Amino acid sequence: MRIGQFQLKNRVLLAPMAGITDQPFRRLCARYHVGMSYSEMMSANRDVWHTEKSRLRVAHHAEIGINAVQIAGSDPLEMAQAAALNVEYGAKLIDINMGCPAKKVNRKMAGSALMQHPGLVEKILREVTAAVEVPVTLKIRTGWDKAHRNCVEIAKIAEQSGIQALTVHGRTRSCLYQGEAEYDNICQVKQQISIPVIANGDITSAEKARYVLDYTGADAVMIGRGALGQPWLFRQIEAFLQSGTLIAEPSLAEKCQVALEHIHNLHAFYGEQKGYRVARKHISWYLDNIKPDSAFKRTFNTIADPKQQLYVLEEFLDSIQ
C-alpha cells in the first residue's frame, strides 16, 4: 500500500494510542514487521509544544521507519501551524485525529467531536494539507452517534481536501469502546472514495485481520489494543495475509526477552521518575499473554523503584521458563 510517496512495508498498521505508542513501543513493533506506526497525539495548542511531555510524545528513532506524527485540535490555523512545526522537526507524514472520544479532547471541539461539524472539518483539512508538503492522513470514527453516522460524508470531504489515506474506527463516538466494532460503514466508505482506506477496531488476530480486509475491501488494517503485551502480533498477521499460514507464536524465552528489553527501554526513555510507572501497564499486558492470572501481577505494582522493578521482573520470568 502507498501513502503519497511512501510504500508501506505491509498492510498491518499500529494505531496511535496516547500513553502507549511511544518511541520504545513503536521500535519493538517495527522489529516485528508493523507496516507503519503513528506517534501518540500531539496537541495543536502551542502552549504545550515545548513541554517535556510533548517532546517525548513525538520522539522518533530511525528503526521506526516513516516518522508519522498525529496532531489533535480544532482551530484550522493552529492545526496548520502544528503540522508545519512537526514537519520542521522531522515528521514525514501528518495524521489528524478526529476519532478520539475523550471528554477532555471533545470539550475543546477536537477529536471525534469535529465530525459533528463537516464545514469545520473541511477548513481544517484544507489548511493542514496546504501547510505541508508531506502526506496528510485522517483518522475518524463512523460518526458522533448511531443516529448521525456521517463517515461517508466526512470521507468525501477528506478526499476532496487532499487527504491521502483515511482510517475509520468502526464505532461512533457515543459507543466509546463499548460493543463490537462494525465494519459495514467502513465498507461503504471504501466504496465511495478512491484514497486508501484503513479499517480499525477490534482486530486482535490474523484471522480477524483477513476477515476485515475481505469484508470491507479496505487497503489495510490498523491494530490498537490487540498489540498490547504482544508486539509480535504484527509478524503473525503479516505472514497470514501473505501466505494463509498461521506461524507459531514466539517462544516463551523470546517473549520474556522482549518484555525485559521493553521495560529497560522505557526506563531509559522516560527516566527514573516516570519510567517505572509507564512500565507497569506494559508488564501487566505481557503477563496477561505470558502467564495469565499470576499472583505476581498483583504484587508487582507496589514496587516504586526502577532497578527493583527490573530485578523482580527478571527473577519472575526466569522462574517460569
Ligand X SMILES: Cc1cc2nc3c(=O)[nH]c(=O)nc-3n(C[C@H](O)[C@H](O)[C@H](O)COP(=O)(O)O)c2cc1C
Q: Which residues would be at the binding site for ligand X (CB under 6 A)?
A: 15-20, 40-41, 70, 97, 99-100, 139, 169, 200-203, 223-226
Q: Is 9 annotated as a binding residue?
A: no
Catalytic residue from among 100, 151, 175, 187: 100
Report, in Å, the least distance between residue 307 CB and ligand X.
27
> CB 244 → ligand X: shortest distance, Å?
22
Helix axes 118-131, 151-160, angle to 10 degrees: 30
Among 179, 157, 181, 178, smallest CA distance to 169 is for: 181
Q: With the CA atoms of 152, 205, 277 and 291 taken in that order, what torsion angle do they form, in degrees rounded to the nearest 10?
A: 160
Q: Is 262 annotated as a binding residue?
A: no
DSSP 250-285: PPHHHHHHHHHHHHHHHHHHHHHHHHHHHHHHHHHH
Pick the closer one to ligand X by CB: 202 or 238. Answer: 202
- Nearer Cβ to ligand X (97/164): 97
Cα angle 34-212-2, degrees, rounded to a multiple of 5? 45
18 in a known ligand binding site: yes
Q: What does 156-225 look like in DSSP terms, one character per residue?
A: HHHHHTT--EEEEEEEESTTTT-S----HHHHHHHHH--S-EEEESS--SHHHHHHHHHHH--SEEEESG
260 class by beta-carbon count within 10 Å (0-12 exposed, 13-18 middle, 19+ buried): middle
Q: How far is the CB of 200 from ligand X (least distance, A)?
A: 5
Closer Cβ to ligand X, 26 or 169, answer by number: 169
- Is 97 marked within a binding site? no
Report in angstroms how near the CB of residue 47 gets to ligand X at its nearest: 19
- Beta carbons of 233 and 32 less than 8 angstroms apart: yes
Residue 15 DSSP code? P
Is residue 100 part of the annotated active site? The answer reads yes
Instruction: Establish whether 41 is an annotated binding residue.
Output: no
Considering the complex, state which of residue 65 and residue 226 has its C-beta at the smaller distance from ligand X.
226
Q: Which residue is nearest to ligand X (CB)?
A: 224
Contact 196, 219 (CB under 8 A): yes
| Shortest reach from residue 319's CB to ligand X, in Å | 30
Q: Is 16 annotated as a binding residue?
A: yes
Measured from the CB atom, is 277 or 294 closer to ligand X?
A: 277
Q: Which of 292, 299, 207, 305 is nearest to 255 (CA)?
A: 292
Catalytic residue positions, numbered: 100
Summarize the annotated binding site as residue ranges.
16-18, 70, 139, 169, 200-202, 224-225
Summarize the annotated binding site for FMN as residue ranges.
16-18, 70, 139, 169, 200-202, 224-225
